[in-house]
A = this chain, B = another copy of it.
Amino acid sequence: MTMKLPPASDHVYFNDGFKCSSISITTNLNELNGDNGVISSNDSQGSNEFILTEDGRKIIPNIKTLDYAKLWLQDRKRRTFKRKILQKRLPITQWLPKYNFDDAVGDLVAGITVGLTVIPQALAYAGIAGLPAAYGLYGSFLGCFVYIFLGSCKDVPFGPSAIVALLTFQAAQGSWQKSVLLSLLCGIVELTMGIFGLGFLINFVSGPVSSGFTSAVSLIILTSQIKNILGITARGATFVEIWTQIFNNIGEARSADTILGITCIVILLIMRFFTSFRIGPEEPLLRSRTQNVINKIIWVVSTSRNAILVIGCCIMGMILRDDEGTPFKVIGYIPQGLPSFALPPIHINGNDTFTGKEETFVEMVKSMGSGLIVIPLISLMENIAICKAFGNGKPVDASQELIAIGTANIANAFVQGFPGTGALSRGAVNHASGVRTPLSNIYSGSLVIISLIFLTPYFYYIPKATLAAIIIAAVVFMVEVKVIKPMWRAKKTDLLPGLSTFLACLILPLEIGILVGVGVNILFILYHAARPKISTEILSTSAGHEYLMITPDRCLMFPSVDYVRNLVTKQSLRSNVPVVVIDASHIFGADFTAAKVIESLLKDFATRRQLLFFYNLKPSICSIFESISAEEFVVYYQEQQLDELLKERNYNPANSNLQV
């Protein structure tokens, strides 16, 4: 089999590391073969065993550690003062100089559409967080403006999200002071994580865990809103408790609220269906002008369904009011005007708590607990989900996104906002409206400001059931039932972490639930590391000597080494072949524990006079094993070398007697 390698082309090597940035080392193939003592043949009889001669790890060790550090430092220094780093950390500098008319139109349309969505959602999500509706609006403008400068993803509309609102409620227990402080602290945590490049942590939340979490959150939010639809009071800690209470109190359901709520849900679902409805021919180019205009109107109306419904219901509320108030519960008084720009509260007076007990800063922080870590991580998860969903494969800079949403949350805390992030549902609206840059945030933020200054008196009449309907119609599609089928088809075992997360989140506090899911999933990785697949076969050398070839399929790390040792010993004894070769082609990593086990394997083989060779062991692994082996340690890299090795040892299968 022939593989032609280009004689002197450039090759790029990757150094691993938690950061995605990599040091590129360029070399040519001839240097490479010479420097590393790796045998590679380019002739027509060549083997492809060395297809990986360009593996980063083979080259890096030959650069002395000191040089390596120096290189890194120089690289760092050079990069720090380059424009690239500015563009990376202040993404507005990338797109603003190239901003054109098309961009402006796209952003304006998208910004206004998102603005019409964010106002009702903000009012509703404040309810999920257990706060008066006004706080939702407070958290929906300043952060948007910050995101314009720091955000790296055009589709992200910063603001309150349903998931983060629920987490806020669990951490701040519906106290506005704690919610605002939480926004500050989460912002600081996010910013710090961003600076230290800890965004990679969300990689440990797998697809199934993320689906299970989102589905559970949606169900919990749905549950919490059902009582608003029914107009009843149901208090309970867990999912099951709330449902029990709802069923017990269903008799107290207020018919006006229930009818209004259900009607709203039905209207929203119908209008949602129309977002993808088009009249005329399938192919857009074949449609007439009128058809196109009608289609555009259908799309705008159906996309602005939340705003339209709220306005409609609000007007209805104003019309239907009498001396006893409105026939359904309304959100009530919202103070007019912008919130004051002030430091976030760092203690709570006795008058402001349910118990009448004063709370100090330390007590406030303590009561937030693990929310301070989980909210930033989940915020990032939701935010990155938008970037990935609409980014066309553009790599996502998680660190920069952390810096952006962190700073936005810190800013929000000064105008009494609660924690926010890029909300997935509005991200989809933003993208569908043709957003071009993060500048669209300026229009949605401005709309929120306008509504705070001029519209709050009218918001009084917005029915609670309508807001609940908006939430329900949004989160019902977040229950990811559809993902079960492909998961079942692709890998059935992956249903387990997904299902554990889902159930754990329903039963336990959300932050514990997701940790359980991640923990279950990490067990998969550990199992994988602990139980390599090992295949064995009896082969013959060209001189006709039989030997046992044992091939482990992955790295040798401490959880697996004993297992591998036992299998190798068992097979070596069972096969009764005096020559055993371990094919290390797939071993790309090893540790000290593995080296110790290899040492004792070599000792065992020497004791029973069985020969043990290593085939195709990477030089980096070789140096780990060699360093502590007292016995002879033999590695060969080409098939035919085995015969030479056997000849050197005067090997004769007839004479060889295993000393078992």
Contacts and interface: CB of A to CB of B under 8 A. Distances in A.
Interface in A492-539: 494, 521-522, 524-539
Interface stretch (A1-9, A86-94, A213-221, A472-480): A1-9
A614 to B, nearest CB: 15
Contact of A55 (B14, B533, B569, B575): B533
Interface in A275-302: none
A558 B501 CA distance: 15
A596 interface: yes
> How many copies, total?
2
A49 to B, nearest CB: 8
Nearest to A553: B588
Given A487-B592, A490-B627, A588-B586, A11 B537 contact: yes
A566 interface: yes
A149 interface: no
Given A395-B565, A491-B590, A554-B555, 14 more contacts: A48-B49, A52-B551, A54-B535, A203-B563, A392-B604, A395-B569, A489-B628, A490-B627, A491-B591, A491-B592, A494-B593, A522-B522, A525-B526, A529-B529
Contacts of A491: 590-592, 595, 624
A33 interface: no
Contacts of A560: 203
A558 B47 contact: no
Interface residues on A, range: 35 or more
A243 interface: no
A206 B4 contact: no
B595 A539 contact: no
A562 interface: yes
Interface of A: 1-6, 9-14, 16-18, 20, 45-49, 51-52, 54-57, 200, 203-208, 388, 392-396, 486-487, 489-491, 494, 521-522, 524-540, 542, 549, 551, 553-555, 557-563, 565-567, 569-571, 574-575, 583, 585-586, 588-593, 595-596, 600-601, 603-604, 607, 624-625, 627-628, 639
B1 A639 contact: yes
Contacts of A555: 528, 554
Nearest to A200: B530
A586 B200 CA distance: 24
B395 A540 contact: no
A402 to B, nearest CB: 15
9 contacts: A12-B575, A13-B535, A14-B535, A16-B532, A18-B530, A48-B639, A54-B536, A494-B593, A528-B589
Contact of A521 (B17, B534, B558): B558
Contacts of A529: 525, 528-529
Contacts of A540: 4, 6
A558 B489 contact: no
A535 B588 CA distance: 12
Contacts of A494: 591-593
A16 B395 CA distance: 36
Contacts of A526: 204, 522, 525
A114 B400 CA distance: 65
Contacts of A566: 20, 395-396
A527 B203 CA distance: 11
A556 to B, nearest CB: 11
Contacts of A203: 530, 558-563
Given A490-B592, A531-B18, A539 B395 contact: no
Contacts of A595: 486, 490-491
B531 A208 contact: no
A525 B527 contact: no
B542 A2 contact: yes
B563 A20 contact: yes
* 7 A-B pairs with least C-beta separation: A393-B604, A206-B558, A207-B593, A494-B592, A489-B627, A1-B47, A395-B566
B207 A558 contact: yes
Nearest to A384: B562
Contacts of A557: 524-525, 528
A561 B6 CA distance: 30
